[in-house]
Each structure stands twice: as structure tokens, then as C-alpha cells.
Chain A
Amino acid sequence: MRPFRSRRIPAGLLAPALVAAALSLAPVAYLAVRAAEGGPRAFADVLARARTAELAVRSLGLAATVTAACAVVGISLAWLVIRTDLPGRRVFGVLAALPLAVPSYVAAYTWVAAFPAISGFWGSALVLTLCTYPLVYLPVAAALRRMDPAMEEVALSLGRSRASVVLRQLRPAAAAGSLLVAMYALAEFGAVSIMRFDVFTTQIYTSYRAGFNRTPAAVLGLLLVLVTFLIVLAEARSRGRAAYALGGSTPRRASVVRLGPARTPALAWAAAVAVPAVGFPLGSIAFWLVEGSSRGVAAAELGAAVGATLGVSAAGALVTGALAVPVGIIAARHGSRTARFVEQAAYVGHALPGIVIALSLVFFAVRYAYPLYQRWPLLVLAYAVLFLPAAVGAVRASVLQSPPVLEEVARSLGRSPLGAIRQVTLPLALPGVLAGTALVFLTAMKELPATLLLRPTGLDTLATQLWTETGSGSYGAAAPYAALLMLLAAVPGFLLGMREVR
């Protein structure tokens, strides 16, 4: 069956989706304003620099490497955990999601502190892969869990390999996850600068930090948006007309693949990912907690930071989740130009470094929403711009999983298009909506650059406290904040992992 594509998007869905799109595109508008100040010369200057091309190539190389590595790690772990008799597969299934809780700058720091020689391209690639492969693992595991085994059986009976069918069917999920990884790798600054590897975003930061000049930074930002847009297009094309094979009935559970003699290498592989991705940062933080000779931690400060972190991240997650629902449904159910625009616009924010998003919101808030400025709602909006794609991806995937025929039935029984969505589609997609919200929740907890610029004066989150302590070289004092941050972020991470292995 081909996917249900309705030409007209109900206004009740389109309006909030357009709000989300406008919000996501605000940073681009800001960049355009700032870049235009420099005139065509600004573009020419930036583009003429040999360094621009060099750094672009480096960034793309890093993004490609990380994406490929994440695809290999994410797909292989998902398959082992969901489809095989890997010993301890549930434990590994949860562990595989937990690296989401490790901020990439913390991971990078722990690696460089322990192995200074690792810095550079491969160190950056290693850290980014270990921190972001769950973005591929989670959707692929979900897709594997729901895939109808009948297809594989047919393939096997016709003499083809199991992989030929499985990989083909996993493509939409893997591509969506890889897209998030690629964009993360392109926009990342903290971890790569700790790894002493100059990338494209380094130049953006240098423009602000050293030149106090916003025009070249804006030109570079627009270039980054352009590159991201091309990647999003490529992903959409690879997704193409691929759709989930869904009948009206619930697919059987797939049979378990016996690993046999491959058990030991499989186990070794799963452990080889879990140990550096989860064990290593935890161990390092534990070491600092013990070794740190800094003064004791002020319990009140720690408590306040925990409260602030949970509060703003939860608000960010709820708003982002709410905005992602209409965008995700439109992306799953409609194929019009508007639908594509709304979906692709949502991805823009993800590709820009946090400082650009933050400055653009400063720009707009100071002019048009002054009462919100330096209050937490603005910070929440920044989280929405930054993390909307992760939530949209989750919503879209889960809406695709619910058969459109159910909506049609509801409509033939007299429900309005919106009513059918509210009563049929949304309840069925709710677990996916929640997964997206949880993902945003934990990502927002770790966010630093936008939080620093947009937080209410005096509000400290765990991430900003961590920044303060490491900024004055007090690594011992920083450790409790890092440990608590990872512990808190591990809770939604744990739930996301559990979801796949139950």
C-alpha cells in the first residue's frame, strides 16, 4: 500500500506548523540581515579565503566519517539487541541509548585528559560517534521491532539474504537518524575545539570572539545553512517513496536469530561500544569526584542548578514536543510543497551553532518581544529552534507507523480531519511523541551556548555551572555538576533505551 497523501492540510494543523517553521527560520532571517550589512563584498571576502574552503572540507569530512560510523554502530547494535540471542541483550539495549546523556564537551574533555595524543580529526570523530550513535540506534531499533518478518521469510525462501530485505526496510529510519547525526557533527563546536581540530564552526566563533565582527560570522552561518539544506534534500530524496509496509494487522514478532559461534565476537562488539561510550566518561567523572582537591560543593547551589535545569529543559521539551506534533503529522501524511517546506524548515536550527541561534533570538526579542527578553520563555523558544528536528523525526516515524486507513475510517464515520487526527492518529502516535519529547528533554539539559546568552540573569543550570568551574580550571569542583548532569540526563535516556528492549 502506498502512503496516504492528502492534498490539503487542515488549517488547524497548518497554522501551528507554520509557527514552528517561522520560528525555525528566524535565525536565517537574522543571518541574512547581518550578512547584508556587509554587502556583496562580505560574501566575496569570506568565500575568497582559502581557509573557508579548507575548513568546509574538514567539516564535511568529519560529518561524513561520523555519520558513517554512527550508521554502522547504530544499525549493528540495534540488530543484535532486537533480533538476536545476544547474551544480556536487554542490558546492552539500554546501555546503547545512554551515551545520549553524556555531553559531547564532557566526553571530549575526558578523552583528551586521559589520552592527550588522541586529539585531532580521529579524536573528534571518535567522541562525536560515541555521543551521537544513539540517534541512529533508537529509530532503527524501533523500526526493527515493528518490521513484519514475513518479508524476510519471503526473501529467504527465494534464496536472497536476510540483510537484503532488512537493510532496505531500515533505510528511512537509518537515514532520518543519520541526518540528525550529520547536522550535529556540522554544528558542533565545543567537543572539536577541545580536540584541537579546526572546523567550519571554528571560523564562526572566531569571527565573534576575535574580530567582534558579526558580518563574516553571518555569511559563514548562511553557508552552513545552505550545506545543511542540501543534506536535508539528499535525505528526503533517499527516503523517496519508501514507505513502511503496513497492513491492518499487527505484525508477528520476528523469530530470534541464533548467533551460534558468532556470539563471542558479537558480545565483544557490543562491549567495545558500551565501555568507551558509557563506562569511560562515568569512570572519569568518578575519578575527578574522588581526586578533585577543590573546595567542597555548595549543596544549595547544586540544588538550585538541578531545579533550574529540570525546569527549563522540561518546558523546552514540552513546547518542542507540541510544535513537533503538527510538523511531524504533516511530514508523514502530506506530500505537497507546503508540507515539504514546513518539514525542511524545522531542520535549519539544528545545523547552526548555539551562539547563532541565541544571538538571533536576542535580535528579535529586543526588537519585538522585549518583555520576554532574558526571561525563561525565550530560552525555551531557543531550545525549540535547536531541537525541533529530533522531535519531528520521532513524531513523523510514529505517525507513519499508524495505518492511514484508520484515519479514513474515522473520517468516513463523520469525524473532521482534525477530529480524526486527535482521536485516532495522535493516541496511536503518542509513544513516539513522548520519545521525541524525552530526547529533547535530555538534549536541552546539556545545552550550553544558547543557555549562557539567553538565561534569566542569575539563573544557573548544571551546564552553565560546569562551564564556570572548568573556566577557572577547577575540575574537581566541576565534577559534581558533570556527574549530576549525566545522571539526570540518563533518566530519559534510560527510558528511551527501555522502550526498545521491552
Chain B
Amino acid sequence: MSAVFQAVFAPGFFTSDPVRVALLAGGMAALVSGIVGTFAVMRGQSYAGHALADISVTGGSASYLAGISPLWGFAGVGVAAAAAMDLIGVQRRRGRDLATGIVRGAALGLAALFLYWGTTSTSTTGATVTILFGSIFTVSGPTAGAAALFGAVALGIVAVLYRPLLLSSASPELAFARGIPVRATGALCLVAVALAVSLSALTIGAILSTALLVGPAAAALRLTSRPGLAVLWAAVIGLAATWLGVLLAYDSYYWPPVHQGWPVSFFVVALVLVFYLLAQLAAARRAGRRPGQARPLAAGRDGAGA
């Protein structure tokens, strides 16, 4: 029994400080991303979420140059970009991805410039890799504490807006007829997404931020057509993927070929994809003879009126 335990949890897993911080910060980011992500996926804002993660990283690198705390750079630029996206028309279905792409392209251009200015002394390689990947094992204690604040605000926005948000995601016309300010609700939702991704981009990196925002939520929306249940599933799946990923990464320290450990982001992303495919399989089996046709809540139309 203890041999099995030793094989699953490599020695020192529970006493290691970096692991504890990674479990905490990663778990927090996974929870917030899963819950906020359910709405982002329902509203078709996966791309906006991905772009916001990159953009808030740009803000982080800019705040280095300006000499302010990167934390505020992350959140401030993320929220500003969300406002810009809303302003130039992410609420329309067709032109939305284009507008998002333009904002992301311009922001990455700025990132290139900041890197050029900021890295005449240090290496560009490290900074680029951090922008692309981030690292879960390098979160410092105080940062994690302040980042928790963003998560709480994002969750607060979603909790307050829960019902109007569902209705306006499912049927903007109906929501409008009932007097819900659809535009403002959408903008606030985007702000919540921006806060959630800047929290996770800061603590666990840009790749994982997108993966945890979109993957668990999409899997959850496959499993159930009830929004409340979907939010719960998304949080559970995100948490499971993150913690299993951290565990595997810790175990992989002795794996070939380099014996330095495989990256956490790889494990978490792979687990998220596996969970999504499993959920898809479950949905297809439930749909019986029409596999591939089942799309519970795909457009958010089924459960929201309930």
C-alpha cells in the first residue's frame, strides 16, 4: 500500500513549499477560470479570453518599465483591453473575432517593443518564454495573496450578474425586452473574464490561463444543460486537471530524457484536453444514435430559460 502511495506521490510532495504554493495558486486560478469561463464559452468569447491573457502579460511587462507593481499592470491593462474590445464591437457576432485579433496584434506589437526596450540588459529569450508560457512554480506568496483579490472580484461580478447574464447570453432579444441592459451586462462579463485571465496569467502563465478558461467550461457544457451544474462541473474539472498536473509534474522529475521534470503546463493542458474529449464522448453516447449532434447548451439556449 505504501509502495503504491510512494509511486503516486513522489517523496516530499506534501512537504515541498513550491508545490504547496503551486497547488494553492493553481487551484484558485482553476476555480475562478472555470466559473467565469462557463459564461465566456457560452457567449462565444474563447478568443477574447485568450487575447486578454496575452494582453495583460503585455501590461505586466510594461509596468516593469514604468516602475509600478506588475500586479496592477496585469489587471489594469486587462480591464482596459476588455473595454477597448467592447467599444470596437466584440458584442456583435460576426466582426467580433476580427476586433479581438486587431487588439491582440497591436498589443503583441507593443509587447515586442517593451521587450526591446526592457531587455537590452537581460535576455529576450527568457522574457519571451515567460510571456508565452509563464511558470506555476515561481509564484511568490504576496503575489498570490493580491491575485486572490482579482479572483474574488471576478467571481463577485459573475455572482451578482448571474441571472441577467444567463438570459442575455441565451437570448439577447428576450433580455432586452425584459429591460436588462444587455450591453452593460456583456461589458461587465468581459471585465470579469479579463480579471480572471489576468489572475491566472500572472500566477500560472498565459497558456494555462486559456486552457483553464475554455477547456473545463466547454467540457462542463457538454456534460449538462443546466447552467448552475455546468459552473460546478467546470470548477471541478479545472481543479482536477490542475492538481493532477502539478502532481504529475512533480513525479516527472525522475522521468527521461532530461531528469529535470516535465513542464506543468504540458500536463495540465493535456489533462484538460482529455477531460474535454471524455465529456464529448459522454455527450455523444447520451445522444444515442445521433453522435456528434448533441449540443446541450451549445448556444446557451436550453437551460437559461429555466
- Tell whether A and B belong to one assembly: no
Chain B positions within 8 Å of A, measured between CB atoms, are none
